Amino acid sequence: MVEGGDPSVRDASTFAGSKASLKDLHLFIEKLLLSRSPTSAPAIFICLGHQLAAQAHISLIQRAVRQVLDMKMLQRDRGNKALHALQNVCQQIQSVGETLQVKKKNGQLVASNWNDSEFTVGPNEFKEVGDRQLLHYQSPDSETSGIPQQLITAHEVTADEFEGVIDTSIEYEHELNIAMFHSDEVNEEAMLFANWAYRLLHNTIIPYRYILAGSSLSWLMQLPFAVEILCSTTHEGEVLTECSATCINYKDFESKVIRRSFTCQFHPELLTDLRVVGRREPPSYAQLKRDDGARLFTRLLYAGMQE
């Protein structure tokens, strides 16, 4: 589990004096994202962890694109079919990444493309402090948002294909209110892009996985298959944090088994009195049963362990 904290992932200087720099954390989170396997535990990224995981998605995709496009040949790849297929999709990913803008609903430009420092995590319109009701994520309209339709459609396919636990919990509960403390947010555009890019890479690798397995690109087979945005929050009736939580789906190339990890901008580990479980008297079963965060946290842990 990767928890929250006071620093901002948008400003490396806020980690000064810590035992780990922002760069160290980026490398650590990337390794965590690549480590999901039949023998690994699920990862749950909370608050800053949610934002760090989002940044790691984009960093891993950029690294994959660079390595594939720089590659001249792959061993056992007759006619360079595998490499050409991968380079084709990486060119598509690069083309979209270099032109995809991140904008606020008022039209304010946050990032011009995936090379901008705030492409993945930017400032939120308002700080969110205290309990917030979680609502179902709603897909944007391509014409009004400027987000390419293929990114939106790919995410809708992911949402239809997988059950993300949090979205189902919202459906079952009359209301789901969880504590939030943040002034930065994961950008919706970046996560729609990550989901689309992951799916493209995974599906392209499938027929050539045996070639990649013995190459320097074998790490691409450890990438997630898809990322689903699960819920949003609102402020005065308007959506504020579009990407409040995600489900990271991994698909085994052979068994097709799905393994999941989760990220949350909110704090399901905090009870309604907003005190960390490890620093208070042990809660009773009745308290845990009544608490929205505790119930959701348990569901995430349970779902992450299922295959």
CB 51 within 8 A of CB 184: yes
- 201-212: pLDDT as tens digits: 999 999 999 999
Highest mean pLDDT, choosing among 3-7, 10-14, 42-46, 53-57: 53-57
Helices and strands in the chain, H and E counts: 10, 9
Residues 7-33: what's their mean pLDDT? 93
Q: Alpha-carbon distance 306 to 29, whole Å?
A: 22
Start-to-end Cα distance in the chain: 19
Lowest mean pLDDT among 102-111, 265-274, 292-301: 265-274
58-76 burial, b at 16+ Cβ within 10 Å, e below that, comes to bbbbbebbeebeebeebee
258-264 vs 44-46, strand pairing mode: parallel
pLDDT at 130: 66
Q: Alpha-carbon distance 88 to 24, whole Å?
A: 32
Question: What is the pTM for the complete model shown?
Answer: 0.92
pLDDT at 155: 98
pLDDT at 234: 80
Q: Is residue 169 over pLDDT 90?
A: no
Q: Alpha-carbon distance 109 to 102, whole Å?
A: 6
pLDDT at 145: 93
